Amino acid sequence: MCYPVLKRLFDLVMAGLGLLLLLPLGLLIALIIKLSDGGPVFYTQNRIGQFGRPFPIRKFRSMVVNAEKLGLPVTPEGDPRITWIGRLLRKTKLDELPQLWNVLVGQMSFVGPRPEVPRYVDAYTPAQREILQLKPGITDLASVLFRNEEELLRGSADVEDFYVRYCLPRKIDLNRRYAARAGVLQDVWIIVQTLCPYWVGLLTIYGFTLAASLLMAYLLRFDFDLPRRDFEDFVRVLPWMVTPQLLLLLWLGQFRGLLSYFRLPELRQTVTALGLAFLVQLAIWNILPAGILPARSILPLDFLVSLVGVCGVRLFFRWLRERSSIPNHRTVARPSRIAIIGTGQLATNLALDLARDSDSGRRVVAFFGDDPHSWHKRPHDIPVVGMPECIMNREWMDQLDEVIIALPDEDATRAKEVGELLKGSRLKVTSIATWPVLRPLTV
């Protein structure tokens, strides 16, 4: 079954269940809003949906009545228009619950670009308007990464200008990247990140790993033939064995960084945290009565297995991150093959920047220059083939898609001459003055 069908089926089922199961909570929120200031329960605003069609989006009202007449569509932290109940609703994202109806009727999806107000969409560039081909959603990757947007806008002198110039383009770029690799698993992961703060997810992963490691220590201790009595012992000692480990991992900063980044410094922190936890466990073992303690051999076994378990989990998430960052060459179009005219600093810096930008879809395959001393050299492992006129050879005409003239301003005459040479060829010809600003060549 194709992704769009699965996505719509998921939206229908989950929106229907959500409206049914969350009805009591919604009624309670509506009652509190009504009693707080007597104003309307819902806030309705026109947003731009799929294919540029406007539609009414609904939220539980989190601001004072007629807030749109008292300020901008964007709200920085501390905005006086936000009510006391509105702050709680915004913090927990409960103000978005009425949008389940928008999902049910097909105006929105659970995951998709957050719909914007018309005044911001009108300012989109043609490239940015491509995201209007997607159905808007309750949440998206931008919602996760801009979770604290109100704090981000707090210090800006012109909130709307800051949002339009800096926040909105980044959100659109994130959604364009999402569209390029959208899938069911990615949608589920975005929903999980939206509902679950990052530290809660870390606590769950670490807690499960440490509990599983303690169980493995017991299994190793009894040669994988764990008696019922010792399993009950495992359950009894689990809290005071795992709690020091979690607290010390927290103390040494293992809940602040990204789980998928794991190098030597993180390894040292993990070893230190679990080593200190082992000493704490050993102290507890010597303090508590013997009848409620595990066998002493469990303690070093648990330290070793926990260390392997935590490091293994972090390496696994690192592998997932690195794997997801590798482009899928089976679906990506062949990159544009570029020749650069020039071998000086301007040309080589340009080649290096293009090589670093793996998403540009452009690959430098050759340099061409007038200095014979540079021929057959390989700056940045790219060959300098010969003089620019060599491009006109059929061999290179078939191997290139674009030519960039990267000659300094003092060689403007030569740049114009090369441009005249390539005029009329099938190659796209561009001239630059200062990278990364490209300008069409005028000949």
Confidence check: pLDDT of 135 > 90: yes
Q: What pLDDT is attached to residue 443?
A: 41
Are residues 215 and 284 both part of a single domain? Answer: yes
Q: Is the pLDDT of residue 45 over 60?
A: yes
Domain match, 36 and 183 both: yes
Asked if residue 71 is part of any domain, the answer here is: yes
| Residue of higher predicted confidence among 340 and 398 | 340
- Asked whether residue 203 falls in the same domain as residue 185, the answer is no
* Closest to 210 measured CA to CA, from 235, 253, 243, 236: 243
Establish if 330 belongs to a structural domain: no
pLDDT of residue 207: 93
How many other C-beta atoms lie within 10 A of the C-beta of residue 86? 23
Residue 404 has pLDDT above 50, yes or no: yes
pLDDT score, position 310? 93
Regarding whether 202 and 191 lie in a shared domain, the answer is no
Question: Residue 440 pLDDT more than 50?
Answer: no
Q: The CATH number of the domain where 423 resides is what?
A: 3.40.50.720
Domains identified in the chain, total number: 3
pLDDT at 429 over 60: yes
Residue 80: its H or E element: none
15 vs 253: CA distance, rounded Å: 38
Residue 381 has pLDDT above 80, yes or no: no
Angle at which helix 298-324 crosses helix 198-221, to 10 degrees, equals 140
Q: What is the mean pLDDT of the chain?
A: 84
Strand 137-139, strand 336-341: pairing: unpaired
Residue 331 belongs to some domain of the structure: no
What would the two tokens of residue 148 be? Answer: 């604290």
DSSP structural state of residue 389: G
Q: Which of 256, 291, 324 is the last residue of a domain?
A: 324
pLDDT, position 27? 93
401 in Cβ contact with 338 (< 8 Å): yes
Give the range among 93-102, 153-162, 319-328, 350-359 with minimum mean pLDDT: 319-328
Chain mean position to CA 107: 25
**Is residue 98's pLDDT more than 90?**
yes
Q: Are 278 and 297 in contact (CB under 8 A)?
A: no
Separation CA 421–CA 401 (nearest Å):
16
Contacting residues for 142 by C-beta, under 8 A, at least 6 apart: 113, 114, 170, 171, 174, 175
Inform me whether the pLDDT recorded for 187 exceeds 80.
yes
pLDDT tens-place string over residues 337-347 = 999 999 888 88
* 229: number of Cβ within 10 Å: 7
What's the rounded Cα separation, in Å, for the pair 431 and 41? 58
Do 149 and 11 lie in a common domain?
yes
- Range of 313's domain? 198-324
Same domain flag for 318 and 366 = no
Same domain, 103 and 238: no
Task: Provide, rounded to the nearest whole percent, the portion of the chain with pLDDT above 90.
Answer: 30
Last residue of a domain, one of 173, 195, 217: 195
Do residues 222 and 289 share a domain?
A: yes
- Per-residue model confidence (pLDDT) at position 157: 67
Same domain as 246, residue 275 = yes
Q: Is 376 left (phi over 0), alpha (psi -120 to 50) or beta?
A: left
The answer to whether residue 434 scores a pLDDT higher than 50 is: no
Among residues 150, 170, 195, which one ends one of the domains? 195
Residue 138, beta-bridge partner list: none
Report d(CA 440, CA 423) in Å as an integer. Answer: 12
Model pLDDT for residues 217-265, shown as the tens digit of each residue: 999 988 888 888 888 888 888 988 899 999 998 888 777 666 767 778 7
- Alpha-carbon distance of 10 to 183, in angstroms, equals 12
Same domain flag for 191 and 209: no
Strand ranges (DSSP E) for 306-411?
336-341, 362-368, 384-386, 402-405
Report cis status (omega within 30 of 0) of the bond before 244: no
140 and 54 in a common domain: yes
Structural domain contains residue 32: yes
pLDDT band at 151 (very low <50, low <70, confident <90, very high): low
Provide the pLDDT for residue 331: 44
Q: Range with the lowest mean pLDDT among 62-71, 111-120, 127-136?
A: 62-71
- Whether residues 179 and 220 fall in one domain: no
Specify if 21 maps to a domain.
Answer: yes
Residues linked to residue 402 through DSSP beta bridges, in sequence order: 338, 428
pLDDT digits (tens, 9 = 90+) for 53-66: 999 999 999 999 88
DSSP 184-210: HHHHHHHHHHHHS-HHHHHHHHHHHHH
> Cα dist. 141→83, 110, 194, 350, 387 in Å?
27, 12, 9, 31, 48
User: In the predicted model, is pLDDT for residue 358 greater than 70?
Assistant: no
* pLDDT value for 279: 92
- The predicted structure's pLDDT at residue 114: 92
